[in-house]
Structure 1
Amino acid sequence: MYKFQETLDIINRRIEELVFTEKPKSLFDPITYILDLGGKRVRPALSLMAYNLYKSNFEEVLPAAIAIEVYHNFTLLHDDLMDKADMRRGKDTVHIKWDDNTAILSGDAMLIESYKELAKVDKKVLPEVLNLFTQTTLEVCCGQQYDMEFEKRIDVSVDEYIEMIRLKTAVLLACSLKEGAIIAGASDKDAQYLYDFGINIGLAFQLMDDLLDVYGNPETFGKKIGGDILCNKKTFLSINVLLSDKKEELLSWFDKGRENPQEKIQAVRSIYNGLNLKEISEKLIHEYYRKGIECLDKVGVEDSRKVELKALAESLLYRQS
């Protein structure tokens, strides 16, 4: 069985081989730029690792894995524009380095390039893989739309939030795993168990991201702490406050913090602490993680072949705070 880092090395080599020679150059340069920024590459790695439960000829699954990574980076390019973000992985975002219109059009081209990669999958499984990929890409768009709509609402329920992060984050992880399984010739049951594993781990991952944004160590988390608070972002934590008797106290901070952001972060964190939301969130994270591992345990291969996937899931979830 290949380890996570070994699959990453394979993926990174293949991405380095991607050369966009089409013209105009100004359309494709931003694609090369954002792919060269790197990233965790977790999604394509999951495709290879799911495939590797059954087979090891990665040439079969690499087109699907690369398609997922190109698509994921397309979503980041457009997300950065919608969020008016200045930095991505320590570098200027595409709309800052170029302009808004270039970010839109180059992003559109990336979406098309992802389908060009996917079309290289063996024709025997291509229809099933294509249907899954297409459904997933649409679901991610739905999740992003819900996320934007939630910015204007203060009555978002916990169930609505869980559904939003399922669509925006979890389904692409699940798709990555299921595509790898399909291409490897896994049974329908195994492919679905791996999909469900991805959904639950994806939910746990996003909930942990919410938690680390408030309680994490910026040196190990990889970004500044408190960003969600400063942006009044709807997260599992803030939504629970808005459903409590501390609602008005939190709302009073929504228009504050421009002059002293640390004061706002500390005040909102104090509200979270008073409602024991850190502990409540951790409990829910552990529950989704447990459900995910239960799904993985049902996959019909030897347990020894699942060790690397379990280790990756654990590393994603229990990132240093």
Structure 2
Amino acid sequence: MTTTENLLQTLQTEIEQTSYGESPAELYEPIRYIMALGGKRFRPLLTLLSASIYTDDLKNILKPAIAVEVFHNFTLMHDDIMDKAPLRRGKLTVHEKWNANTAILSGDVMLIRAYDLLIDIKKEDLRNVLIRFNKTASEVCEGQQLDMNFETRWNVTEEEYIDMIRLKTSVLLGFALELGGILGGADMEAAQLLYEAGESMGIGFQLKDDLLDVYGDPAKFGKQVGGDIIANKKTFLLIEALSKAEGTIAAELNEWISAETFDKEEKVNAVRGIYDTLGIRALTEEKINSYFSKGIDCLERLSVPYERKKNLLEFVHQLVEREQ
């Protein structure tokens, strides 16, 4: 079996060699730009690792795996416009480097190219894959809309938040694993287990991002710790704190939320202190572990020898233990 490191290198080489179009250059250069910014590439890698459970011949699965990454980056390009984000992976976002209209149109082409990368899937699998991909793509958009809706709401519940991140983030991880299973030859039951594994772990990953934003090591996290607190972003931690805070603690939390001018470091430290008082960190870690455990349990239930799924399980455990 191919090692995870070799798969990642093969994947990266294939991404670098993928052509999206040439002319007009103003349309295609932004696509090459965002795809060259890197990222963890763990979505297409999950597709390959999932397929490798059932087959050692992965050459025909590379392009569909890259389709997942192209679609993911398409969503990032458009999300950055909506969020007015200046940076992506430490570099200027496409709409900042070019303009919003260019980012919209280039993003549209990326979605089309994702379909191009899926089109050579063998005939007996293509219809099923396209149905699942279309459902996933719609759900990602639904999740983004819910996230935008939450910006003007202060009564978001834990259940609503979990469903939003399931749609916005987790269903694509589920699809990535399911796609690899389908293309590798998994039966319907195994493909469903792979999807459920990705969906559960995706929720865990997003909750871990929420946690690391507050409690992460700045040297490892790769971006400003406390950014969500500064922006009053409705994360799992803030939603839980709002539901549990009473009396003077609730008053202090609401004061920081409503403050229009403040010292950023002071606000981060104060809100983190409120989270500590309310036991939010332990509560979040418990929730994260429950979703990771559910996802790993789905993988362990796959009826294949351990050696076939060893690479995938080891990679998942690395993601679980990440600190950035």
TM-score range (shorter-chain normalised) is: over 0.9
Range moving further from structure 2, 44-53 or 18-27: 18-27
> Alignment partner for residue 281 of structure 2, among 274, 278, 281?
278
Range moving further from structure 2, 204-213 or 284-293: 284-293
- Give the drift of 1:20: 3.1
TM-score by length of 1: 0.97
Contact 1:60 1:122 in 2 (8 A): no
Distance 1:150 1:186 in 2: 38
Q: Hey, what does 1:58 align to over in structure 2?
A: 58
Q: Hey, what does 1:136 align to over in structure 2?
A: 136
- Give the drift of 1:21: 3.2
Q: Hey, what does 1:117 align to over in structure 2?
A: 117
| Counterpart check, 1:303 vs 2:312 | no
- Counterpart residue identity of residue 41, structure 2: R
| Counterpart check, 1:198 vs 2:198 | yes
Q: Hey, what does 1:253 align to over in structure 2?
A: 256
Residue identity over aligned pairs, in percent, reads 48
Distance 1:305 1:276 in 2: 40
Classify the secondary structure of the residue corresponding to 2:2.
Answer: coil
- Counterpart residue identity of residue 225, structure 2: I
Distance 2:39 2:256 in 1: 33
What count of residue pairs does the alignment treat as equivalent? Answer: 321
Q: Hey, what does 1:262 align to over in structure 2?
A: 265
Range moving further from structure 2, 117-126 or 186-195: 117-126
Contact 1:257 1:263 in 2 (8 A): no
Q: Hey, what does 1:293 align to over in structure 2?
A: 296
- Give the drift of 1:258: 4.4
Contact 1:41 1:69 in 2 (8 A): yes
Once the two structures are superposed, what CA deviation does each residue of 1:194-215 show, in whole Å capped at 9, x if it has no partner?
Answer: 1111111111111111000000
- Give the drift of 1:259: 4.4
Q: Hey, what does 1:210 align to over in structure 2?
A: 210
Contact 1:70 1:114 in 2 (8 A): yes
Contact 1:65 1:176 in 2 (8 A): yes
- Counterpart residue identity of residue 11, structure 2: I
Q: Hey, what does 1:189 align to over in structure 2?
A: 189
Unaligned runs of 5+ in 1: none
| Counterpart check, 1:243 vs 2:243 | yes
- Give the drift of 1:247: 3.9
Once the two structures are superposed, what CA deviation does each residue of 1:107-165 show, in whole Å capped at 9, x if it has no partner?
Answer: 11111111111112112211011111110011000111111111110000000011011
Range moving further from structure 2, 34-43 or 2-11: 2-11
The 1:302/1:41 distance shift into structure 2, 3 A limit, reads: same
Structure 1 residue runs of 4 or more that deviate by more than 6 Å after TM superposition = none
Range moving further from structure 2, 258-267 or 246-255: 246-255
Classify the secondary structure of the residue corresponding to 2:123.
Answer: coil
Q: Hey, what does 1:225 align to over in structure 2?
A: 225
Unaligned runs of 5+ in 2: none
Distance 1:122 1:153 in 2: 46
Q: Hey, what does 1:68 align to over in structure 2?
A: 68
Give the root-mean-square deviation of aligned CA atoms: 1.3
Contact 2:64 2:117 in 1 (8 A): yes
Contact 1:197 1:295 in 2 (8 A): yes
Distance 1:144 1:4 in 2: 31
The 1:92/1:163 distance shift into structure 2, 3 A limit, reads: same
